[in-house]
Amino acid sequence: MTTHAAPASTTSHPHALDFARAWDYSPAPETAKITIAPRYGLFINGQFTNPPNTFETINPATEETLSEVSLASAKDVDRAVAAARAAFPKWAALPGVERAKYLFRIARRIQERSRELAILETMDGGKPIKESRDVDLPLVAQHFFYYAGWADKLRYAFPSSSFAPVGVCAQIIPWNFPLMMAAWKIAPALACGNTVILKPAETTPLTALRLAEIFQEIGLPPGVVNIVTGDGSTGAALANHKDIDKIAFTGSTDVGKRLAKVAAQRAIPITLELGGKSANIIFDDAPIDQAVEGIVSAIYFNQGHVCCAGSRLLVQEGVVDEVIAKLRIRLQSLRVGDPLDKNTDVGAINSKMQFDKINEYLKIGADEGATLEQPNACTLPKKGFFCRPTFFTGVQQSHRIAREEIFGPVLAVMTFRTPDEAISKGNNTPYGLSAGVWTSKGSKIFETAGKLKAGVVWCNTFNQFDASSPFGGYKESGFGREGGLHGLRPYVRL
């Protein structure tokens, strides 16, 4: 990737070396070739079907069509639900130790095929290969391993209760972590003896279909997991189906609220993991260099397509100039471009729709009077959807860019004076998925983290995940937890 010298606005800083040039590597594209079929059917009852209606999924970094996948109709969904229903009694009755064996096999096969899966995840969704390879895939395998470990130990998870699986689970997932969201949903469901119909997002269906191949390879009994690709209409048909026993959804708050109504009317359980506008709080006693690195992983990681992204930066007044100056320098050296290049830090925005939404917010922020900065000077590819890492200063809490989820590499920077002000500003949002706290004082960490209304609070780090750690939101970020012991609870009746 070739780069320009940093723009004039950023060279005035004394440390503003020409980082973009200093880091000008040769391209290092991933060279392994993977095969993608021209068309994919649905995965129902252990078989791939071949229905007539298809839609294209593209590579958002090149705008080229990768494949055509099936648009499942209500009838197709009906068949998938029937398959899951038929498979349920036998799967539920299987001893936990037997279900565990299947989950272990899935986990191992994911590890064996991880390079191929990582490349496909990057091609279909636009995330940098170093993230899909080093973050997503290891976590996907870890999730299956982790819940395989629970499958025969459920009586220790729910001591002194008798428990049973919930039944047939409708699971609808988004495009930001396609395989990871599939793993978060499928692994605990199967461990507890449920059967599943999974609906991947329309822009990133391909890796879920490879997962279906893995289910075939390891001999998972037919119907235990069914995968129906499609759009919102497919998701709606699944969520409204009369023979499902549970809904699990990750995605937008709007759709989540609609599904909550559906579940309420039918009196079936639902777990929701929705949007966020998480605060990343930097106190003046924080290790600033590390905090700047933390900002990068909080909001520029995965192009900001992260529900728990630290999209509001709250900096204590005394250090705001230093933080901004260092952030500016850091953003110069981030490499934006070809997601298949191993040096790329920021890949492609997932879809045209999301790209337009982000650009709309860049305009809204400027119109609201905030100051936009994009210090990065990479030459962006001519095709594809790319957005430079962006931050806004001069942001008011009332600005839309400080209140609404943008879901892109766009940070709103605000300041505070006292710890109380940091907490009240941090909590001043309808969401509550995550938060970050940066300080060198342990007592301040506990005090602040305890008062933040967020499901996860990262201290002197950001965006760290582990299968054993529960994840989920407060307020409009949803309810229910995924991961850890807590992640089993939505999949059993006590």
Q: Which residues are catalytic?
A: 273, 307
Whether residue 147 contacts residue 187, with contact meaning beta carbons closer than 8 Å, is answered with yes
The residue (of 101 and 266) whose beta carbon lies closer to ligand NAI is 266
Rounded CA separation 88/30 (Å): 41
**Among 479, 492, 467, residue whose Cα is nearest residue 159:** 492
Residues in the chain, total: 494
Which position among 201, 206, 208, 401 is part of the footprint of ligand NAI (CB under 6 A)? Answer: 201
The residue (of 57 and 390) whose beta carbon lies closer to Mg ion is 57
Q: For the window 243-282, what string marks contact with ligand NAI as x by the rule CB under 6 A?
A: -------xxx--x--xx-------------xxx-------
The residue (of 19 and 177) whose beta carbon lies closer to ligand NAI is 177
Residue 405 interacts, among ligand NAI, Mg ion, none and using kind-specific CB cut-offs from 5 to 8 Å, with: ligand NAI
Rounded CA separation 101/425 (Å): 48
Strand partners, 168: 195
Strands 54-59, 64-70: pairing is: antiparallel
Q: Is 236 in the site for ligand NAI (CB under 6 A)?
A: yes
Q: Is 232 in the site for ligand NAI (CB under 6 A)?
A: yes
Q: What is the CA radius of gyration of the chain?
A: 23
Residue 30 interacts, among ligand NAI, Mg ion, none and using kind-specific CB cut-offs from 5 to 8 Å, with: none
The piece of 2-10, 71-79, 198-206, 422-430 that touches ligand NAI (CB under 6 A) is: 198-206
Q: In this structure, what DSSP letter does residue 3 have?
A: B
Rounded CA separation 305/259 (Å): 22
Residue 124 interacts, among Mg ion, ligand NAI, none and using kind-specific CB cut-offs from 5 to 8 Å, with: Mg ion
The residue sitting closest to ligand NAI, measured at its beta carbon, is: 235
Q: Which residues contact 35 (CB under 8 A, 6 or more apart)?
A: none
Hey, which residues between 450 and 479 contact ligand NAI (CB under 6 A)? none
* Amino acid at site 89: P
Which position among 185, 199, 241, 277 is part of the footprint of ligand NAI (CB under 6 A)? Answer: 199
Smallest distance, Å, CB 447 to Mg ion?
Answer: 44
* Axis-axis angle for helices 114-125, 137-151 (nearest 10): 120
The residue (of 39 and 363) whose beta carbon lies closer to Mg ion is 39
Q: What are all long-range contacts of 316-319, with beta carbons under 8 Å and residues at least 24 apart? A: 316/282, 316/283, 316/284, 316/415, 316/416, 316/417, 316/422, 317/284, 317/415, 317/416, 317/417, 318/284, 319/282, 319/284, 319/286, 319/288
Smallest distance, Å, CB 74 to ligand NAI?
Answer: 12
The residue (of 164 and 353) whose beta carbon lies closer to ligand NAI is 353
Rounded CA separation 131/301 (Å): 8
Residue 86 CB burial class (10 angstroms; 0-12, 13-18, ≥19) = middle
How many CA atoms are closer than 13 Å to the CA of 97, on its beta-carbon side? Answer: 0
Which position among 196, 220, 239, 298 is part of the footprint of ligand NAI (CB under 6 A)? Answer: 239
# residues near Mg ion by CB under 5 A: 3
Q: Residue for token digits 């037997």?
A: 98
Residue 172 interacts, among ligand NAI, Mg ion, none and using kind-specific CB cut-offs from 5 to 8 Å, with: ligand NAI
Which position among 235, 337, 365, 432 is part of the footprint of ligand NAI (CB under 6 A)? Answer: 235
Which position among 45, 57, 343, 429 is part of the footprint of Mg ion (CB under 5 A)? Answer: 57
Which position among 405, 412, 432, 492 is part of the footprint of ligand NAI (CB under 6 A)? Answer: 405
The residue (of 180 and 324) whose beta carbon lies closer to ligand NAI is 180
User: How many CB atoms within 10 Å of residue 407?
Assistant: 24
Residue 57 interacts, among ligand NAI, Mg ion, none and using kind-specific CB cut-offs from 5 to 8 Å, with: Mg ion
Smallest distance, Å, CB 286 to ligand NAI?
Answer: 28
Smallest distance, Å, CB 124 to Mg ion?
Answer: 4
Where does this chain bind ligand NAI (CB under 6 A)?
172-176, 199, 201-202, 231-232, 235-236, 239, 250-252, 255, 258-259, 273-275, 307, 354, 357, 405, 407
